[in-house]
């Protein structure tokens, strides 16, 4: 399990905080056993199973990658007792069939990469306290998703989810406002419970950190939502990811039968703490859309800038698969930054959500052409407990990486 491989005093601090909180909660519960029994018996148990077949044809690898995996998840959440609530969530990822892909753990370095390693892990284990007015405190291993997950997210797309060891405070005292503070002592990444091959992203499956995360969200404008944030990341195991980022995001819509959609965001990032570099880089995104007669169309520009050859804007805690194409060719920002000009159309056909997305990639600095990508997604809820998903990505390289095609079929069952 991930706790077994977590290392460093700061990650242990977060786990210790959770352990102390669990012990305190247990002592309180013991004072009234009948009430505790009711809280436990009245808790909610959830089961889910997600099967995925992912095929990766990367011209940079001699063999295609074919991953057939099943994620099984059990989640138990108690009822709230004396303002306390506890949740435990366990995931297991198993290969179904052969080991015909590179998961950064095996020796299949000539196959396409699918970053879904098998194993069992403690995905979440937290205790929450809501005894302070308009405030919830949560300690332990937990999911953190902020705004659109461009900077802080759970990477729920991968079979191994990214979760965080630490403490969060959520306050809603001000009207239409949600303020979030999180201290993160360890980032539990997507690469599996066990450390992978040296030189790969899986070499450190947990990142010890000393991170302070602030996000304030305001919905009282009537025509959109405004967010302001500060992300101060001190990452011991990946010093180049130690950055401070300050920014603001606005997104909203206008209209009834026909809706106009709009998003604008700007952020500034610099080196922080033990980062060996010294740089300043900008991030911005502009997006406009129209929703009418069951069709939603959007056009947008997202830029992760660069500071000459000193460094580029990074988002190491993001749910990266949501951005810059399903082929996952830009999980790390290139040294010259990146400009992603994109357009998408979504609609429903025979009850299924169908979308096509086009990306054109260029360097932020210089004239390099990073290629283009066409993505297709089809999703359908075929039963209240059963969801079917198909994704296809076709990335055509120019001056970055190699041509890559991905095809993904996924079936999710929840109880």
Q: Calculate what percentage of the chain has a pLDDT beyond 90.
A: 88
More confident residue, 6 or 312: 312
Tell me which residue of 202, 203, 215, 206 sits closest to 185, measured CA to CA.
Answer: 206
Give CA–CA dist 57/359, Å, rounded.
19
Q: How many domains does the chain have?
A: 1
Confidence of residue 5 (pLDDT cuts 50, 70, 90): very low
- Given a contact cutoff of 8 angstroms between Cβ atoms, the answer to whether 168 and 144 are in contact is yes
pLDDT above 70 (res 16):
no
| Residue of 122, 124, 131, 184 lying closest to 24 (CA atoms) | 131
**Closest CA relative to residue 231, chosen from 339, 144, 160:** 144
Provide the pLDDT for residue 399. 83
Which tokens belong to 100?
């015909």
| Structural domain containing residue 152 | 2-414
pLDDT at 250 over 50: yes
Mean pLDDT of 2-28: 42
Q: What is the pLDDT of residue 33?
A: 53
Are β-strands 404-414 and 386-396 bridged in parallel, bridged antiparallel, or unpaired? antiparallel
H-type helices in 31-68, by residue range?
33-41
Report the pLDDT value the prediction gives residue 398, as an integer from 0 to 100. 86
- Cα distance between residue 397 and residue 180, in whole Å: 40
* CATH number for the domain that contains residue 366: 2.40.160.10
Banded model confidence at residue 28, pLDDT cuts 50, 70, 90 = very low
pLDDT at residue 55 is higher than 90: yes
User: What are 88's strand-pairing partners?
Assistant: 76, 125
User: What is d(CA 412, CA 415) in angstroms, rounded to the nearest whole number?
Assistant: 10
Q: Is the pLDDT of residue 19 over 60?
A: no
d(CA 93, CA 167): 27
3-class DSSP state for residue 141?
strand
Residue 11: the pLDDT is: 43
Distance CA(252)–CA(256), nearest Å, equals 13
Angle at 49 between CA 323 and CA 388, to 5 degrees: 55
Give 408's pLDDT tier (boundaries 50, 70, 90). Answer: very high
Cα 285 from Cα 291, distance rounded (Å): 20
pLDDT tens profile 117-146? 999 999 999 999 999 999 999 999 999 999
DSSP state of 42: T
First to last CA, the chain: 24
* pLDDT higher than 90, residue 177: yes
**pLDDT over 80 at 334, yes or no:** yes
Statement: residue 110 has pLDDT above 70: yes
Portion of the chain with pLDDT greater than 70, in percent = 92
| CA-closest candidate to residue 92, choices 5, 161, 187 | 161
Mean of pLDDT values over 270-280: 96
Which contiguous run of DSSP H or E holds residue 24? Answer: helix 9-30
How far apart are the C-alpha atoms of 176 and 195, rounded to whole Å? 43
Is residue 398 within 8 A of residue 371, CB to CB? The reply is yes
User: What tokens appear for 111 in the block?
Assistant: 């196959």
pLDDT at 3 over 50: no
Out of 4-13, 246-255, 392-401, least confident range: 4-13
Lowest mean pLDDT among 3-12, 68-77, 261-270, 304-313: 3-12
pLDDT at residue 255 tops 60: yes
Confidence class for position 94, pLDDT limits 50, 70, 90: very high
Residue labelled with tokens 């880089």: 281
Average pLDDT, the chain: 92
């Amino acid at each position: 399990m991930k706790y077994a491989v977590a290392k460093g005093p700061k990650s242990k601090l977060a786990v210790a905080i959770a352990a102390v909180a669990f012990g305190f909660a247990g002592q309180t519960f013991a004072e009234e056993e009948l009430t505790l029994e009711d809280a436990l018996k009245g808790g909610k148990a959830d089961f889910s199973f997600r099967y995925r077949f992912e095929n990766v044809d990367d011209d940079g690898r001699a063999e295609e990658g074919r991953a057939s995996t099943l994620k099984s998840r059990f989640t138990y959440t108690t009822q709230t007792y004396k303002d306390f609530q506890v949740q435990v969530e366990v995931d297991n990822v198993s290969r179904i069939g052969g080991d015909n892909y590179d998961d950064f753990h095996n020796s299949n370095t000539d196959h396409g990469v699918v970053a879904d390693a098998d194993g069992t892990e403690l995905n979440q284990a937290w205790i929450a306290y809501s005894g302070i007015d308009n405030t919830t405190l949560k300690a332990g291993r937990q999911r953190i998703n902020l705004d659109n997950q461009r900077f802080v997210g759970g990477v729920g797309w991968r079979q191994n989810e990214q979760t965080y060891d630490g403490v969060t405070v959520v306050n809603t005292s001000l009207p239409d406002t949600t303020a979030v503070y999180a201290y993160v002592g360890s980032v539990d990444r997507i690469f599996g419970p066990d450390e992978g091959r040296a030189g790969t992203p899986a070499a450190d499956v947990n990142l010890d950190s000393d991170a302070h995360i602030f996000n304030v969200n305001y919905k009282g404008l009537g025509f959109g939502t405004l967010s302001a944030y500060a992300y101060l990341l001190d990452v011991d195991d990946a010093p180049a990811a130690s950055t401070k980022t300050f920014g603001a995001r606005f997104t909203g819509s206008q209209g009834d039968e026909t809706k106009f959609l709009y998003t604008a965001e700007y952020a500034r990032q610099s080196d922080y703490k033990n980062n060996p570099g010294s740089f300043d880089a900008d991030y911005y995104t502009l997006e406009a859309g129209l929703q009418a007669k069951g069709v939603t169309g959007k056009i947008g520009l997202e830029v992760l800038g660069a500071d000459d050859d000193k460094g580029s804007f990074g988002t190491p805690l993001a749910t990266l698969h949501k951005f810059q194409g399903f082929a996952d060719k830009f999980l790390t920002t290139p040294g010259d930054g990146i400009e992603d000009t994109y357009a998408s159309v979504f609609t429903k056909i025979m009850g299924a959500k169908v979308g096509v997305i086009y990306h054109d990639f260029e360097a932020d600095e210089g004239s390099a052409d990073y290629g283009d990508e066409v993505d297709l997604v089809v999703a359908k809820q075929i039963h209240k407990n059963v969801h079917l998903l198909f994704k296809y990505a076709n990335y055509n390289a120019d001056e970055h990486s190699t041509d890559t095609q991905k095809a993904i079929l996924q079936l999710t069952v929840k109880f």
